[in-house]
Amino acid sequence: MINSKRNKQTRRAKTKPKPHQLDGAKLAILANRFGGICSKMGNTLLRTGRSGVLNRAKDFSCCIVTRDCELLHAEESLPIHVLSGPDLMAKSMHEFHPELKRGDVFLHNSPYHGNSHPADHTLLMPVIDKKGVHHFTLLAKAHQADIGNSIPTTYHGTARDVYEEGALIFPAVQVIENYQINEDIVRMCRMRIRVPDQWYGDFLALVGAAFIGEREVLALGEEIGWDTLHAFTEQWFDYSERRMIAAIKNMPHGTGVAKSTHDAIPGTPPEGITITSKVTVDTKKATIEVDLRDNPDQLECGLNVSEACTRTSTMIGIYNSVDPSVPKNAGSFRRVKLHLKEGGVVGVPRHPISCSASTTNLADSVQNATQRALAAIGDPLGMGEIGCFCPPSTSVVSGTDPRTGKPYVNQLFLGHTAGAAVAYQDAWLTMLHAGNGGMCFIDSVELDEVYTPIVVKTRRLIPDSEGAGRFRGAPGIEVELGPIDCRMEACFVADGNINVPQGARGGGDAARSDQFRRKTNGKLERLNQCSQVWIENGETMVSIASGGGGYGDPKKRDPERVRHDVEEGLVTPRRAREVYGVAVTTAKKIDLKKTKELRRRRRS
């Protein structure tokens, strides 16, 4: 709901003479100016964040929405954070705070009011000029290492509801007024969060990012003129829509349906959770329509996907098949229509059900089902399934650091390949997970060992674990780590032990994931996929994270690509022969005669 005063301001602006049409050069320049502001905000978070989640893994996003709550720009951001959610959060800010003033900032992490999940603390700062007119809203979002959940993780997969989950929920709560921090809110967080100084450092990094963004947008408005900037947003959206129309008209026409299944954990049906996505590409109307209503009701667990993440994960699945030069903003979004289920496990889950792991597990299933449904319509649409999150190598680990005697909590990003193949190239190796889009950094082993009392014994790619195809998925990865001179608690919600990442259009599936504890005697003990486990001094965790599905017939893969994979140790000569139909000699050369015979046998 947008208040009447704001409507009057908007109407006054619209009664002024319409600014002249901006040419292509000016559109491009202003688009890059706004993108540069987002980059400055993000750079502030990277350089000043206290936790490893921010300053090593880069798990944050910054974006700008218009005064009408439409996404304008989100440079170098995580897709799951920004394609939808900023628009919904900005609307809730207006609903709860009809009178916006310069210097206001609002803390938002409520998945019931537009945020992704509670661990993504977001600051919203309206940009208001000297006359008191609101022009844009800035958002700085950062995943937190700890948010005060009932257990030391930000992914409470088995929480029956938000009360068992335990996080503090802030539905657009004013945390700064007239540029002054409300210390009452800060004290609440410091009393609840296990690592208060670390959280406060990350909070100040968010504040700095918002303040820098406001400074830059105000300067841009003074330089260019607010009327010109608003004319730009309208024309930029129109341009983006035209680009999207052209892209859709070049796609195959049709409807595809695909399913993706998440393995069972406590609180889910014993067969797991199957997500169905029905996608229609209408090249005549230049629209893409996705129906997610044929899915289960919300469940008493933490895997329910918030409205923001349902919308976003669907759009990621779509935009992975769209010309990558099409701008991702409210203009191109006009050509996308989503049908969501009220009270669904994906769709619009309702309070007080938990959405603790909303950004990852089932959100990945939504994206995977959507992009495989697109692949079912025709080549070159869609992708294989991206590998499953969140394995032990991305655990939230906690304990007491023996070097300082102080508690620590942090999420590791030590290794998760996950990338899936598309119709025209092999997978991105360090995708991490579907909604991340490869934007997070993989942790440095040495830095994690410096900042956390752990040792990383192994980090290696696993041969013959890729989803084979004309283009192949990423191989899986093994990481083994454990505590040093202490015990360590690790929490993770893994997937892919049973329902592995599938290929598309004849592409092969990726190898399964797994997770173990290596006891002090060297024996391996399998851990549950959803675990809160203590790893004792001298023990280690072994994480087997799956890669991604392949695309197209493996026997049609370029033999030189297969030979190179053999040379790199990603594929064994036996798999090259049996799966790809390529004979590679001990000298790592292609035996053309045998390869021709192997592939002729397949055709016959």
Residues contacting 27, CB < 8 A, separation 6+: 232, 235, 236, 239
pLDDT at 447 over 50: yes
Mean pLDDT score of the chain: 95
pTM for the complete prediction? 0.95
Interval 528-537: pLDDT, tens? 999 999 999 9
What are the CA-CA distances from residue 137 to residues 200, 207, 209, 258 (Å)?
Answer: 23, 14, 13, 37
- Helix ranges (H only) for 457-587 are 559-567, 573-578
Dump pLDDT digits (tens) for 322-375: 999 999 999 999 999 999 999 999 999 999 999 999 999 999 999 999 999 999
Token pair recorded at residue 86: 């900023």
Q: What is the pLDDT of residue 601?
A: 83
- Please state, in angstroms and rounded to a whole number, the distance separating the CA atoms of residues 305 and 41: 27
In the chain, CATH 3.30.450 covers 25-240
Alpha-carbon distances of 536 from 47, 221, 457, 542, rounded to whole Å? 34, 57, 15, 14
pLDDT in tens, 287-329: 999 999 999 999 999 999 999 999 999 999 999 999 999 999 9
Packing angle, helices 196-224 and 183-192, rounded to 10: 140
Asked if residues 470 and 599 have their Cβ atoms less than 8 Å apart, the reply is no
Q: What is the mean pLDDT of residues 131-156?
A: 97
In this prediction, residue 18 carries a pLDDT of 60
Mean pLDDT, residues 478-506: 98
Residue pLDDT, tens place only, 465-483: 999 999 999 999 999 999 9
Q: Higher confidence at residue 126 or residue 4?
A: 126
Between 181 and 1, residue with greater pLDDT: 181
Measured CA to CA, the distance from residue 320 to residue 312 in angstroms comes to 12
**510: its two tokens:** 């990726």
Spatial CB neighbours of 410, under 8 Å, sequence gap ≥ 6: 51, 52, 53, 145, 396, 397, 398, 451, 452
Angle between helical axes of 86-96 and 307-319 (0-180°, round to 10): 150
The two structure tokens encoding residue 121: 């603390």
**pLDDT over 90 at 20, yes or no:** no
Mean pLDDT of 29-53: 97
CA–CA separation, 359 and 339 (whole Å) = 19
CB 364 within 8 A of CB 305: no
Question: How many C-beta atoms lie closer than 10 Å to residue 432's C-beta?
Answer: 29
Distance of CA 568 to the CA centre of its chain: 29
Asked whether the predicted pLDDT for residue 218 surpasses 50, the reply is yes
Residue 459, pLDDT above cutoff 50? yes
Domain boundaries 25-240, corresponding CATH code: 3.30.450
Angle, vertex CA 566, rays to CA 562 and CA 572, nearest 5: 110
